[in-house]
Amino acid sequence: MIKKIFILSLVLIFPSILKAQNNTCLTCHLGVDATPVLAFQKSIHKKAGVYCQDCHGGNPEINDETSMDEQFGFIGVPEKDDLIITCGKCHAKTGKFVFTESSPNCIECHSAHFTKRAGIFMVGGSIYFIAFTIISLAAFFTGFFIKYAKYKKGRKIEIKTLFKKGVFKAIKETLTNASIFSNDTYAGIFHLFIFWGFLLLFIGNLIIWFDKLLFQYFFSNAQFLYNWFYRVFSYFTDLAALIVIVGIILVIIRRAFIKPKRLNYKIIGNLSLTELLVEDWLFVIFIFILGLGGIFLEGFRILLHSTSLKTHSFTGLGTAYFLKALGVSSFASEQIYKPFWWFHVISAFLFIGYIPFSKARHIILDFFSIALHDEQAGRVLPPALEGESAGYTTWKDLTQKELLQLDACTKCGRCYEVCSAAMGGFLLSPRMFILNLREAVNQQKEDKLAGEIISKDTLWSCMTCFACMERCPIKIEHIPIMVNLRRYLVEQGEVDERLQDALMSL
């Protein structure tokens, strides 16, 4: 099946690639109703010894305070006589194009429907771009390698067996966000928007990087981001950017104005409320900046390249009209585009490097948390440990899966919302239980988990009702950890007084 899809892709895309290798007038103009980048206007036909304004008329001097229309009189196709005399200097010699009465302008021969994307490196600095790419990816993979090394220090379990059983369920949960929709449609909607929006934008950027960094490098001026393929690409990437913005606005409204009870942290232990809130908001703000920045960047790009604002980027088009209404001209767009492009690119690279060290790590880890879920966890007692203690003493007694699940927690508070002990006023918050354990693991503390990291009152407050595990959208298994910590306390003779009374009455 994969082979058939690959062959079909080649059949559809390769003819476009071959055609795109020959430069046309529109290679520079980027559309039927568009002009070259201002920086190129005086040198675009350098080999012919002529400039754009030789054919198009108007004042040859660039004036920063005037629009392009005012500079050149009009933006359109040169007169036929000018084409034959001027453009013919190059085209007639090469044989690629000869002007005749039946073909009085370039566009009639080179296709009025030709559409392509501006080069990713038209802003310059390709070496810096590649350097930032390498640095951000190095930070990304280093961060997750550090986490992987940490997980390897945990107790070994049958990871492969669990993963094989749960991988397809994890794929389904990830793509549909079904568990997030459960009992909270609002959260399900904004999470689905952000997830699919970012996924489409990620694929879109991979296509751009492949087209500009690899394909054009090996095939000279060839590209496949043009004509019908580019129009479809442009539509879906704009749609993706729009739904990301809508999703993140819903998140901001929820956190800043609706403020559901479960998002209010009940601090238990040594965690900092400020640090928890900063991590949450930093993640939200980062996504908002990336989504909004991408839309405005597209708006500037459209203003820069299209005088009539004809484009298939509907979100970018709306932004371009908004910018134009604010008085932003094509010339101003050129001045803004380069620094704004670099701001957006650097923000994206910072986000990539930031992922493994922040709340954003759940983008990767939640899939594995769901895939490794054991359906029997919490329903049956976990097997006793072999060795000096039957329960968990330090963080190294946790399993590899449990260490991963501690990092996967997104602090959504669903477990806290349904915890019967928390509702009864006991000193327990399943969310704080997980976060305190995570903090101890990250700091490599050698303290005893039971009694030092997690208080005895917290451990004996749990009613093992299974509600926290049932409600958790990423299948974190609280109860097996809780049971193993209690086992350690029992071995130390530190049984809860209420439980002692119950046992004595038997």
Does residue 489 share a domain with residue 436? yes
pLDDT at residue 154 tops 80? yes
281 token code pair:
């908001």
Quote the mean pLDDT of the chain. 78
- What's the confidence (pLDDT) of residue 43? 44
Report whether pLDDT(376) > 70.
yes
Sign, Cα dihedral of 342, 344, 349, 354: positive
Integer Cα distance of 297 and 342 in angstroms: 10
- What pLDDT is recorded for position 167? 96
Mean pLDDT lowest among 155-169, 219-233, 466-480: 219-233
Reported residue count of the chain is: 506
| Spatial contact of 41 and 52, defined as CB atoms under 8 Å apart | yes
Whether 52 is covered by a domain: the verdict is yes
384 and 365, same domain (yes or no): no
Report, as an integer, the average pLDDT of 260-286.
92
Q: Kindly state whether residues 386 and 478 are assigned to the same domain.
A: yes
Q: How high is the pLDDT of residue 178?
A: 93
Asked if 267 and 399 sit in the same domain, the reply is no
Backbone angles phi, psi at 101, to 5 degrees: -60, -35
Query: Is 101 a domain residue?
Result: no
Domain of 61, in residue numbers? 23-95
Residue 163 covered by a domain: no
In a domain, 2, yes or no: no
- In this prediction, residue 215 has a pLDDT band, given cuts at 50, 70 and 90, of low
CA–CA distance, 334 with 31 (Å, rounded to integer): 17
Averaged pLDDT, 89-117: 43
Q: Is pLDDT at 27 greater than 50 in this prediction?
A: no
Average pLDDT over residues 341-370: 95
State whether 346 and 440 are in the same domain: no
Tell me: pLDDT of 436 over 60: yes
Highest-pLDDT range among 57-71, 80-94, 297-311, 331-345? 331-345
What pLDDT score was predicted for residue 419?
A: 95
Is the pLDDT reported for residue 112 higher than 80?
Answer: no
DSSP letter, residue 98: -
- pLDDT (average), residues 58-78: 41
Higher pLDDT, 81 or 356: 356
The answer to whether residue 8 sits within a structural domain is no
pLDDT score for 77? 44
**DSSP bridge partners of 179:** none
Q: What's the pLDDT at 208?
A: 80
**133 falls within a domain:** yes
The mean pLDDT of 182-187, rounded to a whole number, is 92
**389-422 pLDDT tens trace:** 788 999 999 999 999 999 999 999 999 999 999 9
pLDDT of residue 118: 53
**Three-state secondary structure call for residue 345:** helix
Q: If residue 338 lies in a helix (H) or strand (E), which one and from where to where? A: helix 330-354
CATH of the domain at 336: 1.20.950
CA dist., res. 277 & res. 223, Å (int): 45
Where residue 400 sits, what CATH number does that domain have?
A: 1.10.1060
Query: Which pLDDT belongs to residue 128?
Result: 84
Let me know if residue 365 belongs to a domain. yes
Using the predicted structure, report yes or no on whether residue 298 has a pLDDT greater than 60. yes
pLDDT band at 90 (very low <50, low <70, confident <90, very high): very low
116 pairs with which residues across the strands?
226
Nearest CA-CA partner of 124 in 333, 341, 298, 332: 341
Within-domain flag for 406: yes
pLDDT of 125 reads 64
Mean pLDDT calculated for residue range 366-382 = 89
User: 95, 111, 144: which is the final residue of a domain?
Assistant: 95
Question: Is there a single domain that holds both residue 247 and residue 266?
Answer: yes
| 326 lies in the same domain as 402 | no
- Please tell me whether residues 394 and 322 are part of one structural domain: no
Query: Cα angle at 77 between 75 and 81, to 5 degrees?
Result: 130
Taking the CB of residue 95, how many other CB atoms lie within 10 A of it? 7
Q: What is the mean pLDDT of residues 100-107?
A: 40
Confidence of residue 192 (pLDDT cuts 50, 70, 90): very high
What stretches of 355-465 show up as alpha helix (H) in DSSP? 362-371, 400-408, 414-418, 420-423, 430-442, 456-461
Counting the structural domains of the chain, the total is: 3
Confidence class of residue 224 from pLDDT cuts 50, 70 and 90?
low
pLDDT beyond 90 at 135: yes
More reliable by pLDDT, 295 or 71:
295
How high is the pLDDT of residue 218? Answer: 65
Task: Please check the confidence at residue 60 and state whether its pLDDT lies above 90.
Answer: no
SS3 473: coil
Single out the residue in 95, 115, 138 at which a domain terminates. Answer: 95
pLDDT of residue 214: 66
> Cα separations (Å) of 2 from 14, 16, 199?
18, 22, 20
- In percent, the amount of the chain with pLDDT more than 70 equals 70
183: confidence class by pLDDT, cuts 50, 70, 90: confident
Q: Tokens 């299948």, residue?
A: 475
Per-residue pLDDT of 31-45, as tens digits, reads 444 445 444 444 444
User: What average pLDDT does range 221-227 have in this prediction?
Assistant: 66
CA–CA separation, 316 and 308 (whole Å):
14
d(CA 67, CA 125): 27
Read off the pLDDT of each residue in 196-211 and give the average, rounded to a whole number. Answer: 87
Q: Do residues 61 and 148 share a domain?
A: no
Mean pLDDT of 442-460: 91
**Which residue among 338, 369, 400 closes a domain?**
369
Q: Assess whether 347 and 480 both reside in one domain.
A: no
> Does 246 share its domain with 292?
yes
One domain, residues 205 and 346: yes
> Could you tell me if residue 259 is left (phi over 0), alpha (psi between -120 and 50 degrees) or otherwise beta?
left
